[in-house]
Amino acid sequence: MESPLECLVSQDVRLLTLAGHVGLDSLPQQLVNKSLARDFCFNILCVGETGIGKSTLMNTLFNTVLETGEGSHFESCVRLRPRTYCLQECNVHLRLTVVEAGFGDQMDKDCRPIVDYVDEQLERYLQEELKLQRCLRDYRDTRVHVCLYFIAPTGHSLKAVDLVTMKQLDSKVNIIPIIAKADTLTKSELPEFKGRILSELEQNGVRIYQFPTDDEAVAEVNACMNAQLPFAVVGSTECVQVGGQLLRGRQYPWGVVQVDNESHCDFVKLREMLICVNMEDLREQTHCRHYELYRRQKLLDMGWQDDSWQEAHRKELQAEMRRNEKLMRQVFARRAREVEMQVKEKERELSERFEDLKRILQEEKAKVEEKRRQLEEDKNAFNHRRAAVEAMQLELKLTSFPFFRNSGCSYIYRVLIS
Can you list the alpha helix ranges (DSSP code H) found in 286-306? 292-301
DSSP codes, 102-134: E-SSSS----HHHHHHHHHHHHHHHHHHTSSS-
Give tens-digit pLDDT for 59-82. Answer: 999 988 887 666 666 666 778 888
Residues 6+ apart with CB under 8 A from 266: 182, 228, 231, 232, 233
Report the length, in residues, of the chain. Answer: 418
Backbone dihedral angles phi then psi of residue 227, each to the nearest 5 degrees: -75, -15
Query: Is the pTM above the cut of 0.75?
Result: no
The ranges assigned to domains in the chain are 34-305, 309-377
Q: How far does CA 195 lie from the centroid of its chain?
A: 39
Q: 95-123 burial string, b = 16+ CB within 10 Å, else e?
A: bbbbbbbbbbbbeeeebeebeebbeebbe
Give tens-digit pLDDT for 122-159. Answer: 999 999 888 888 877 778 899 999 999 999 998 888 88
Q: Which residue type is seen at 348?
A: R
DSSP codes, 270-283: HHIIIIIISHHHHH
Give tens-digit pLDDT for 49-62. Answer: 888 989 999 999 99
Q: Is the pLDDT of residue 412 over 60?
A: no
Residues 6+ apart with CB under 8 A from 98: 44, 46, 58, 66, 68, 82, 83, 85
Q: Is the pLDDT of residue 45 over 70?
A: yes
pLDDT at 197: 94
d(CA 165, CA 153): 18
Give tens-digit pLDDT for 271-309. Answer: 999 999 999 999 999 999 999 999 988 888 877 666 666
pLDDT at 417: 52
**Average predicted confidence (pLDDT) for the chain:** 85
- Answer yes or no: are the C-beta atoms of 240 and 255 closer than 8 Å: no
Using alpha carbons, select from 41, 42, 70 the residue that is nearest to residue 54. Answer: 70
- Answer yes or no: are the C-beta atoms of 111 and 164 closer than 8 Å: yes
Q: Tell me whether strands 146-151 and 40-48 are parallel, antiparallel or unpaired.
A: parallel
d(CA 408, CA 393): 19
Q: What number does CATH give the domain 34-305? A: 3.40.50.300
